[in-house]
């Protein structure tokens, strides 16, 4: 028995109780994050704050109004939060409410690779020219600024739509970073190498140019032949198949993820002294 009348098991039970409550609240907050429920919760917080102030300063009319709002608030919450509550109950029934909400790094990389390959296959089949640059460890922010900001989640539908002929963003390069399409219609530096075949056009020269000054991976879909090529570290890989493209993308994105982890680790070490 500890001082205060609580033994070890009482403290353990209390700790587990508090931890579970906080965990449930956290999962619920993650569930409603980005929905209109967040704004409604802010409104409830304001009502509670006004109620507390009215009690402290004995503002009777305001206190009566806030009391009525709180009394009927439970019913109002059920009505206003109906979509979120239904979604929470559905996820609880499927056992997903308390499962991991975020995908693993491998799943995210695999999804991004699939999106890029699907888009390239679609464009290659229809001979839609494309230039896709995926940032490596070296930042390419200066080239992003030459285009139009998109800042959209990477999907093959969005990527394909950008390069559709006669659309405002189809001319130029798309730059991808952290699984997002950051910019479109970007200008890349043209390579001055005399070893590039004369039959290759501006897209291939731009892809070679960015690969000579950064560690980015760039994919080219030829408008003339529909062939898919890649550049990285000053090397051009022409007419590659889907399997080779997948291997190159997987190696590049895994390398970028590992480099990001090392940077984060170094920053934590610098902060900790």
Examine the domain organization and report whether 38 and 138 are in the same domain. Answer: no
Question: How many residues does the structure list for the chain?
Answer: 273
CA distance 16 to 51: 31
Examine the domain organization and report whether 60 and 176 are in the same domain. Answer: no
Domain count, the chain: 2
Is 3 part of any domain?
Answer: no
Is 100 part of any domain?
Answer: no
Is 45 part of any domain?
Answer: yes
Domain end (from 94, 127, 148): 94
Is 133 part of any domain?
Answer: yes
Examine the domain organization and report whether 232 and 190 are in the same domain. Answer: yes
Q: Which domain holds residue 15?
A: 8-94
The one-digit pLDDT tens for each residue of the chain (273 residues) are 445 556 777 788 888 888 888 877 776 666 666 555 666 677 778 888 888 888 888 888 888 888 887 778 777 777 766 766 676 666 666 555 555 444 567 888 899 999 999 999 999 999 999 999 999 988 898 999 999 999 999 999 999 999 999 888 888 999 999 889 999 999 999 998 888 888 888 999 999 999 999 999 999 999 999 999 999 999 999 999 999 999 999 999 988 888 777 777 776 666 665
Examine the domain organization and report whether 237 and 172 are in the same domain. Answer: yes
CB atoms within 10 A of CB 219: 27
Domain end (from 94, 113, 148): 94
CATH number at residue 124: 3.40.1700.10
Its pTM stands at 0.63
Examine the domain organization and report whether 29 and 110 are in the same domain. Answer: no
Domain end (from 47, 71, 94): 94
CA distance 215 to 231: 10
End-to-end CA distance of the chain: 42
Give the Cα-Cα-Cα angle 261, 245, 169 (nearest 5 degrees): 85
Is 164 part of any domain?
Answer: yes
Examine the domain organization and report whether 146 and 78 are in the same domain. Answer: no
Q: Which residues pair with 172 in a beta bridge?
A: none
Examine the domain organization and report whether 162 and 244 are in the same domain. Answer: yes
CA distance 245 to 132: 13
């Amino acid at each position: 028995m500890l001082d205060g009348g609580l033994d070890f098991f009482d403290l353990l039970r209390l700790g587990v109780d508090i931890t579970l409550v906080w965990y449930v609240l956290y999962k619920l907050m993650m569930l409603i994050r980005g929905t209109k429920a967040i704004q409604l919760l802010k409104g409830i917080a304001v009502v509670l704050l006004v109620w507390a102030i009215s009690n402290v300063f004995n503002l009777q009319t305001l206190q009566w109004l806030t009391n009525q709002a709180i009394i009927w608030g439970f019913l109002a919450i059920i009505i206003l939060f109906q979509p979120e509550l239904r979604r929470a109950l559905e996820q609880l029934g499927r056992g997903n409410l308390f499962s991991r909400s975020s995908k693993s790094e491998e799943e995210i990389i695999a999804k991004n690779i699939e999106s890029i390959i699907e888009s390239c296959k679609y464009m290659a089949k229809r001979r839609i020219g494309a230039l896709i640059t995926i940032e490596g460890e070296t930042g390419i922010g200066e080239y992003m600024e030459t285009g139009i900001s998109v800042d959209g989640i990477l999907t093959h539908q969005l990527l394909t739509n950008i390069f559709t002929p006669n659309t405002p963003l189809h001319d130029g390069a798309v730059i991808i970073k952290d699984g997002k399409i950051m910019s479109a219609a970007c200008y890349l530096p043209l390579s001055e190498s005399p070893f590039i075949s004369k039959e290759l056009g501006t897209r291939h020269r731009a892809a070679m140019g960015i690969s000579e000054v950064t560690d980015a991976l760039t994919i080219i879909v030829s408008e003339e032949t529909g062939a898919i090529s890649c550049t990285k570290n000053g090397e051009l890989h022409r007419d590659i198949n889907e399997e080779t493209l997948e291997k190159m993308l997987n190696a590049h994105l895994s390398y970028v993820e590992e480099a990001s982890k090392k940077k984060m680790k170094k920053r934590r070490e610098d902060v900790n002294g």
